[in-house]
Amino acid sequence: GRPERAASGEGYPVAHAAEQHRIITTALDLGEEVSQYPRKAPGDR
């Protein structure tokens, strides 16, 4: 897990994004990177 901190946020946007990526990748056990900008538009298959 993550190191214990007084606040739940990372404090820095870059550190927060990296930590969120690590959490999601670990939780979903993904072998590929997760992007907040999907390649397909909603509704596309």
Tens of pLDDT along the chain (45 residues) come to: 667 766 666 578 888 888 888 888 888 876 666 677 767 766 776
Distance CA 12, CA 26 (A): 21
pLDDT at res. 7: 67
**Assigned token pair, 36:** 């907040």
| Cβ-contact 24, 34 below 8 angstroms | yes
pLDDT at site 18: 86
Question: Domain limits at 1?
Answer: 1-45
Q: What is the pLDDT of residue 32?
A: 66
**pLDDT confidence of residue 42:** 67
| Model pLDDT, residue 30 | 66
Number of domains in the chain: 1
Taking the model in full, what pTM does it have? 0.43
